[in-house]
Each structure stands twice: as C-alpha cells, then as structure tokens.
Structure 1
C-alpha cells in the first residue's frame, strides 16, 4: 500500500531540495478537484500562482499532462514556459517543441464520425457527455443514473464494437469516463520517458522526475518511474491499488506539496548566494 507522502517527507525531501526537478502534473483531480462537468474544473488562482513561481526557478521544469485536448489545457492554465501534454500524450507543446503523434493525425476523421454517432445514440440518456477532443474521444458518465451505467456501456460497445475488432481504436476506462483513442502503443508513461529523454533536459543524471496524478491513466507513468523518480497518487483511499509508492489525499494537499517544493528551492538558492558572498 502507498504511504502518505508527508509522513515520509524526510525520505523524499533531499532529492526534491537538492536535485533539478522535472515535475509532471495531471490536471483534473490533481491540480483541481473533480467536477460534475469538465468545463467546471477551473484552476484556482493560488494554484496558478505557485505554478508560475515554480516555473521561474532554474532547477524546476513543469509539464502538465492530461487527457484533455491540448488547446483546452493551455486555455485553462495560461502559464508560459510550461510544457502542455494533451490527449494522454498524443499532442504536446512547450518551449522549442510542438508534436502530434502521426497515428493521432490519421484518426481525426474517424473519431469525429464516432462522436457524431455516439451523441445521437446517447441523446435519450440524460447524464452522458460525449466530448470530441480531436485526437481522442471521451464519454463522461459521472452525471448518469448509476442504475443505467451498465446499459450505457453496452450501448457504447454496440456502436463501436466493430471498430475495436478491426484495431482502429482502443477502449480505456478512467474515473467515471470511457475513452476512445487511436490504436497506437502510446500512453502517459511512454510520454514521460520521451520527454525526459529528448525534450526537457539533457542533464539526465542531475534531474529527478516527479509525477503526481489521480487517474487510472496515470498508472502507466507511475510504472515507468519505478526506481527512477517519485510517483504520487492522488486518492482518499490509501488501500487503493496503485503503482505509486506514495499518495496525497486531495488537490489541496497537492497545492501544499507544490508550496513545499517552492520553499525548499528558494531556501536552497538564497543559501547558495549567501555562501558565495561569504567566500568572496
């Protein structure tokens, strides 16, 4: 079972304080509490301010990684200098980098047609939201009558089953959401490794990757960071099965975690300046 991160703070603090950090953060359920509808999840000004302050530190690089579309993610956060990763890694944009997975480009038209078909099929079913994110598609059922979830899932597979059989798209489950994506071997874990190796830093030995997320899709990232960095699950259930060795209970605790990192980095920077001044 994962341990609460703040209970093990003395163990993780030295790396957070003394090494350059490559900080990966999920959005929904991590930087913001989960909301009934995706458009309701707005970033609190206090979270935006601490992200902006961290982004100004030379020894911190930040990537926001989400199932949301890239354009939606950038619009919600609006902080220059960050790397934004949308659609579970299929598209990203950051300093000196803009990339869309080739298979995602090829699937745009198909996903658009599926979205139109599902909106029609789910029309009589209140509580279902079909969200076309260009390169992936989400079916949100958080507002659906719990007694109708099984029926809705059967209806979904009735509409898309023939495409799954042809390996044109893949089906994934998240928190109260069903995801349809291009049939490509790509996920948040592979994205983390790709960014770590090729984009965000060349000094791999000095940099410590840190990943914080709450969703099932974040487990791929937790898995690839075993023995390489810090993985933190956001959950209120410490018994929840996860690949992450640590957990935080809420977006509020994630904010506290970010504040602690900032305070350590500032103390380290000004401590180094004081030492240099004394030896001059």
Structure 2
C-alpha cells in the first residue's frame, strides 16, 4: 500500500516514539539518471530533508562513496553511511564546519581498501571494450554501471567482471538497478548499518524508537528485513512497479518521497504546537490557583 494513503496509520503507530529517518539517495532523494555523476537532488528536496533533520535524527544510507553522496546532499546535520554502510560518519559539530570535522563512526572494511583500488583499476581496463559501461570507485566497493550498455552486451560484461574477480575470493558481486556492485564478503550491509546507527543514537534496545527506512534498490532489502525482524518502524520501497519486498509500504518516485517527508514534518510541527499550547494552559491554570 502507498505510504501516502496510509500516512495516518504510520503516524499513529509512531505516537510517543522517537522517529529516526534512514534515506537511500539514488532513486529515493534523486531521480535515476543515465550518468551517475549527474544524479543531483532538487533544491526543494534538499530543503525538505533539512527541515526533516530539525525534527528527527536523519541518515543517508547509500551504495555510493560517502564523500560523493555528501557532495550531492550537502547537509552537515545528517549522518552519512556510504559504500552500503561500510563508511559511517556523524554530523559536523555545530553543523557549520566542513565535512572533514565529522568524526568517523565506523569503517569495518578498511583492510580491503588496497584490494578495492586494484579491482577498480582492473575493471577500468576490462570495460573499455563495452560501450556505455562506467566504473565507479565508491571507496569500499566498486560499481559497474550498465544502464547505457546495449542489452545484448549485458551477459558478456557480467562475465568479464566475474573473470576479474576470480583473483579476489574475498570480494563478491551483487546486482542492483542496472549496476553490478563489487564489495567485501564481510557480513555488513545496509541493515547492519541501520542497527549500528540506532545503537550510536542510543536506541539499540529501546522500545521507544520508530525507524523509517526509504529505499529503491535490492540492497535496501537488508534494511527492510532488519526492521521487520525488530518489529519496529517500517520500510518504504520506492518503486513504480510492484515488487516482492520486506518493506511494509511503497512510494512511486522521489516526488512522492518529498510529499511524504513534508507531511511528516508538518505533522510533527503541529504536534509540538499542540504540546506547547497544552503546557501554557497548564501554567495558566496553576497561576489562577
């Protein structure tokens, strides 16, 4: 069901709990585009996420390199988990400083960095023979984009990638939306990153937390699954086509994501106003007594 249609049900379930927001970037905050370097979010989406972070702890969880996704989003008050959660940093102190001042929270795959660089360079050579293929170094993982590759060449490209990886048994390949992701075989994914961030925020074993995770790709399923297993919060899949998913709700595209986030902000703002009015009334009653 649509998260917009079920908005009241979602907010009712979160009453009395701290909402924590987890947002994928590509296809969720920004449209999917042919050139991954051009996946810019709109200024209106940036303003919406900025308002969201005023009311709820907010994290961007992306398959991209953390620095790259930070440069797209440019909001210092957020948590950033890049490379499918293998590179996590918290907000800048005072939010005014440059991103370099953010404390690194966790990098569970640091030992793989030299290997990732080797594979990146090897893949750059291999894909030269495939028009439209693009290799992206995401620091703790490598992405081979084939959105602009002739469909007849897809299986050949996958074989070439597999041949390179035969020399690296500690790396694995997963497939996303028109992309092959090469990453370490360690047991770490977006679901583990979600749990780590909740723990870092002090909500590890807390019943009063309500995490909402929004994402559009297969790698987001790890996070949706964690929320189902915890029995807390909801996953929201961003997809125009129905898919088998661990998410509880869906939205069709980034414009619907923005509409949902705006409603969430407005709902929280009204709730705080009501609480403030109630406190004032209580104070007035105490004064008259």
Instruction: Note whether the superposition's TM-score is higher than 0.5.
Output: yes
129, 144, 148: which one pairs with 1:143?
148
User: How far apart are residue 257 of structure 1 and its match?
Assistant: 0.5
Kindly indicate whether the alpha-carbon contact (under 8 Å) linking 1:196 and 1:204 is maintained by their aligned counterparts in 2.
no
> What 5-or-longer segments of structure 1 have no aligned partner?
none
User: How far apart are residue 6 of structure 1 and its match?
Assistant: 2.3
> What 5-or-longer segments of structure 2 have no aligned partner?
92-101, 284-289
User: How far apart are residue 16 of structure 1 and its match?
Assistant: 4.2
User: How far apart are residue 11 of structure 1 and its match?
Assistant: 1.7
User: How far apart are residue 98 of structure 1 and its match?
Assistant: 1.4
Per mean C-alpha deviation after superposition, the further-off stretch among 42-51 and 202-211 is 202-211
Tell whether 2:189 aligns with 1:187. yes
Aligned partner of 1:196 in structure 2 is: 198
Aligned partner of 1:260 in structure 2 is: 263
Kindly indicate whether the alpha-carbon contact (under 8 Å) linking 2:90 and 2:105 is maintained by their aligned counterparts in 1.
no
SS of residue paired to 2:128: coil
Per mean C-alpha deviation after superposition, the further-off stretch among 5-14 and 199-208 is 199-208
Aligned partner of 1:65 in structure 2 is: 61
Distance 1:159 1:202, change over 3 A: closer
TM-score (norm 2): 0.89
Higher relative contact order (CA 8 A, sep 6+): 1
User: How far apart are residue 8 of structure 1 and its match?
Assistant: 2.3
Once residues 37 and 51 of structure 2 are traced to their aligned partners in structure 1, the CA distance between those partners, rounded to angstroms, is: 25
Once residues 50 and 15 of structure 2 are traced to their aligned partners in structure 1, the CA distance between those partners, rounded to angstroms, is: 18
Aligned partner of 2:33 in structure 1 is: 35
Aligned partner of 1:77 in structure 2 is: 73
Once residues 121 and 203 of structure 1 are traced to their aligned partners in structure 2, the CA distance between those partners, rounded to angstroms, is: 47
Aligned partner of 1:8 in structure 2 is: 6
Aligned residues: 271
Aligned partner of 2:98 in structure 1 is: none
244, 247, 255: which one pairs with 2:247?
244
- What aligned pairs does 1:52-131 form with structure 2 within 5 A after superposition? 52-57=50-55, 60-95=56-91, 97-102=103-108, 104-131=109-136
Per mean C-alpha deviation after superposition, the further-off stretch among 253-262 and 5-14 is 5-14
Once residues 278 and 85 of structure 2 are traced to their aligned partners in structure 1, the CA distance between those partners, rounded to angstroms, is: 42
Distance 1:17 1:79, change over 3 A: farther
Aligned partner of 2:46 in structure 1 is: 48
Once residues 17 and 254 of structure 1 are traced to their aligned partners in structure 2, the CA distance between those partners, rounded to angstroms, is: 21
| Alpha-carbon RMSD | 1.6
SS of residue paired to 1:194: helix
Kindly indicate whether the alpha-carbon contact (under 8 Å) linking 2:195 and 2:204 is maintained by their aligned counterparts in 1.
no
* Structure 1 residue runs of 4 or more that deviate by more than 4 Å after TM superposition: 200-203
Per mean C-alpha deviation after superposition, the further-off stretch among 197-206 and 19-28 is 197-206
SS of residue paired to 1:122: helix
SS of residue paired to 1:28: coil
- What aligned pairs does 1:164-243 form with structure 2 within 5 A after superposition? 164=169, 168-199=170-201, 201=203, 204-226=206-228, 227-238=231-242, 240-243=243-246
